[in-house]
A = this chain, B = another copy of it.
Amino acid sequence: MARLPVYLRALTALVDQGISTCSSNDLAAAAGVNPAKLRKDLSYLGSYGTRGVGYDVEYLRYQIARELGQTQDWDVVIVGVGHLGSALSAYRGFSTRGIRIAALVDSDPERIGTEVAGVTVAPMADLESIVREHGIAIAVIATPGEAAQGVADALVSAGVTSILNFAPAIVTVPEGVAVRKVDLSIELQILAYHEQRRSAEAPGGGAGPWAADGEVSL
């Protein structure tokens, strides 16, 4: 499930606080979810808790990390070293989560050869050899939207099987390749929609038919 990384982060925070055991209530509060949901999620991994006591923080942390594949580091290539790509390259939080930015690729001759966060930007032509040499399975697309599909095709043909796409474009890939999309504009648009509702509802009784998903307040 997509919630496991959240639990993992909460557990790591507990470890840092020197807490060695915790109940599902505590952990659920730290992760911001319903305790029952958390217990059900964890039960899919196996029975790692002790009734009457709770969960051993360190042990559970390891189990989730193993399930997530974080016992090893995953090498990742970022394609498109612009504003966003550079910010991602510089981010130190990835390394503690089993993610290593192993390579940067761009098509801009100006940018190729420059060093960003200790990694030299390579040309698109090197993509296949980079993927092969590092054994890269995961890639990030941070190019403009128009280039996204072409980059995705190149990545797939180079052997990448998981793609995180930041470009505002829908990329289609062969079956078996995983694609996740993050669209930062849309996140803000959803908030704007919220505000729009708010101000539209306040005066008249103009009831609207639906609610935007996501968490509102707590």
Interface residues of A (CB under 8 A from B): 1-2, 4-6, 8-9, 30-32, 44-45, 67-70, 74, 76, 83-84, 86-88, 90-91, 93-94, 97-99, 137-138, 140, 161-164, 168, 170, 172-198, 209-210, 212-218
**Residue in B closest to A186 when the chains form the complex, CB atoms:** B5
Q: With A86-B87, A177-B217, A188-B76 given, is the CB distance from A1 to B194 under 8 Å?
A: no
A32 near B170 with CB under 8 A, answer yes
Which of B91, B173, B181, B198 sits near A83, CB closer than 8 Å?
A: B91
Among B32, B179, B213, which residue has its beta carbon within 8 angstroms of that of A1?
Answer: B213
Give Cα distance in the complex from A190 to B68, angstroms.
7
- Which of A138, A161, A178 has the most chain B CB within a 10 Å cutoff? A178
List of B residues within 8 angstroms of A84 by Cβ? 87, 91
How distant is A144 from chain B, measured CB to nearest CB, in Å?
9
Known: A182-B182, A198-B161. A67 touches B168 (CB 8 A): no
Q: Provide the main secondary structure of the chain A interface.
A: mixed
Identify the interface centre among A187, A189, A214: most chain B CB within 10 Å of its CB: A189
B contact residues around A44 at 8 Å (CB)? 209-210
State the copy count for this chain: 2
Contact of B70 with A175 in the complex, beta carbons under 8 Å:
no
Complex contacts, A74 vs chain B, CB 8 Å: 188, 192, 195
Q: Cβ of A98 and Cβ of B182 under 8 Å apart?
A: no
B-chain residues with CB within 8 Å of residue A189 when the two chains form the complex: 4-5, 8, 68, 70, 97-99
**Minimum Cβ distance to chain B for residue A35 (Å):** 15
**Closest Cβ neighbor of A198 among chain B residues:** B161
Taken together as a complex, chains A and B put the C-alpha atoms of A62 and B180 apart, in Å, by 28
